[in-house]
Amino acid sequence: MRTGSRRWVLGCASASLSVATLAGCSQSSATVTPVASSAQTRTAPAVPASEARCSAQDLSATETGGCSVMNQPWSIITVTNTSGRACTLHGYPTVTATWTRQGRYPVDVLDSGIYEVTDPTPTLFSVAPSGHAWFAAGTGMGFEGPQLTFTEIAMSTDGHTTVARSLRVPVALGATGRKGHPYGITVTAFAPGTAPPT
């Protein structure tokens, strides 16, 4: 696991927090939903110099897998190029906002690997039309703060930090945190394909 960089995502904290309960599972029982595509390879293709970076407008995103192991819930988020032209991804998604059922909630974002998913080496790669890339998002349940469930995250792929220029993805990530501090969420780098290698 590499040393990650931290970013702050601000939001309006709700006075009442929901209680999330995620069942534990092992690596072998973690669920990852396959996404049909002809672009299943994890080998990054050569990238033409003129190819534009993927923006939120070029992509759709969905939670396609996840679990909770050792009090560390995680989700796999798959993005699909819906633009009709190839574009590039590089590095980490920028989490611009998170929500619970009670509303927007502030988080501290860490770029790193998580307990069940090794951080891929950040690389520049091309995503063909209808092709896919993935990243993992994880939280923790081992702190003294109240339990909540993140029900949606907004993330950008090209460094923009406004929610309006982000993809909003429904998720189900339980979390606790330190009292008086934003809760943590960790994201891995983008990688080609639909799921981490097994």
Is residue 35 a part of any domain in this protein?
A: no
Is residue 87 a part of any domain in this protein?
A: yes
Pairing, β 183-187 against β 107-111: parallel
Domain of residue 148, residue span: 6-14+52-192
Mean pLDDT of all residues belonging to the chain: 80
Instruction: Kindly state the average pLDDT of the residues 143-147.
Output: 88
User: Residue 171's domain is classified under what CATH number?
Assistant: 2.60.40
Q: What percent of the residues of the chain are helix, what percent strand, and what percent coil, each to the nearest 5?
A: 5, 40, 55
Q: Which contiguous run of DSSP H or E holds residue 79?
A: strand 72-81
Instruction: Kindly state the average pLDDT of the residues 115-129.
Output: 92
* Torsional class of 74: left (φ above 0), alpha (ψ -120 to 50), beta (otherwise): beta
Is residue 63 a part of any domain in this protein?
A: yes
DSSP lists the bridge partners of residue 155 as 95, 167
- Report the number of distinct structural domains present in the chain: 1
The string of pLDDT tens digits covering residues 87-106 is 999 999 999 999 999 999 99
Q: Are 178 and 111 in contact (CB under 8 A)?
A: no
Above 70 in pLDDT, residue 37?
no
Is residue 102 a part of any domain in this protein?
A: yes
Above 80 in pLDDT, residue 41?
no
**Closest to 196 in 3D by CA, of 73, 68, 27, 80:** 27
